[in-house]
Amino acid sequence: MTAGREAWGLTHLLGTEGLAAEDAVKVLDTAEVFFEVSRRPVRKAPTLRGKTVVNLFFEPSTRTRTSFEIAGKRLSADVVNISASSSSVSKGESLLDTVKNLDAMQPDILVVRHTASGAPHYVASRTRAHVINAGDGTHEHPTQALLDAFTIRRSLGRIAGLTVAICGDVAHSRVARSNAMLLTTLGAKVHFAGPRTLLPPAPDAYPVTTFDRIEPALEGADVVMVLRIQRERMAGALLPSLREYARKFGLNAARLARAKPDAIVMHPGPINRGVEIDGSLADGPRSVILDQVEAGVAVRMALLYLLSAEPGQAPLA
Ligand code: CP
């Protein structure tokens, strides 16, 4: 299924825009190997012994940071976690000086989350390490899109030909952007749906169909991906109220009935229950939300391996 990591050929993972289909499929196929490892009684492989992974998070995270830490440890890498509040960034040290100092310690991979769009690209230009974008501003969240694609493929058996409705606060969502790029590259049809104030200002920039009501976007969908209302990123009053949003755009049973009977429900987390999604749907039989979280470890193990294993090294060697 997987050859050595040289077959992937990427130095960094900064986004899904421009990511070739064969490179994305390589990640998904490699993640299958690590998914099985993660379900064994002993969830450990020696693959990255002697390698160092630094998780550099300038923004809060539960799923991404923890799963990168678990992924690195399951591959026997040394994993170091740095957050802005516990680093010298809180004393005013710049991003450049932070990166130069970390680079001097010779890490193999820097996993970077930052509030500023483009920060991981800047880091990549200033370090000898491989850089993985763990979410930058409203720009991209490529590892989330890859784990979403992995989850869709495992749940429905394919990605090509499916209709994926991405609903909610699209304008502020790096998850929506990364998924739109990746899923269309892999042959899916993508719908964006949300209030006009929360849709991208230039929707033609994306290979998607845009709807300002949720119902037509869900018609016949195979996948319903609900996005979080990002109160922290809203510069102005873009919504009358959260209650009004839930009434007009929240995913409930009546709206989900417009999708295919076997459609799956996804959410990248964290969830605002009762706002963008009913709690009963988030916990219901069609929800794959926790499958997404489980997939996150396997996909991030695959990325750490593909970027930093020795040429020709097998995934579990
Ligand atoms: N999906 C996601 O990025 O979650 P966290 O912010 O908890 O990492």
The residue among 205, 132, 181, 177 whose CA lies nearest residue 21 is 181
pLDDT per residue over 155-168, tens digit each? 999 999 999 999 99
Six-digit token pair at 121?
Answer: 């690209």
Question: What does the pLDDT look like over 191-207, one tens digit per residue?
Answer: 999 999 999 988 788 89
CB atoms within 10 A of CB 62: 10
Q: How far apart are the first and last CA of the chain?
A: 15
CA of residue 144 to ligand 1 center, whole Å: 8
Mean pLDDT of the chain: 94
Res 232: pLDDT: 66
Q: Whose CA is nearest to atom 5 of ligand 1?
A: 61
pLDDT for the residue 238: 76
Q: Is 103 exposed, middle or buried (0-12, 13-18, 19+ CB in 10 A)?
A: middle
pLDDT score at 1: 43
Which residues sit opposite 251 in a β-bridge?
Answer: 277
The one-letter amino acid code at 196 reads R
SS3 202: coil
Condensed to tens digits (0 to 9), the pLDDT of residues 42-67 reads 999 999 999 999 999 999 999 999 99
- pLDDT of 223-233, one tens digit each? 999 999 987 65
Residue 124 has pLDDT above 90, yes or no: yes
Question: Is residue 268 in contact with ligand 1, taking CB distance under 6 Å?
Answer: yes
> Which atom belonging to ligand 1 lies closest to the Cα atom of 135?
3
CA of 175 to the centre of ligand 1 (A): 10
pLDDT for the residue numbered 8 = 84
Q: Find out whether the beta carbon of 173 lies less than 6 Å from any atom of ligand 1.
A: no
Please indicate, yes or no, whether the overall pTM of this predicted structure exceeds 0.85: yes
Over residues 167-182, the pLDDT tens digits come to 999 999 999 999 999 9
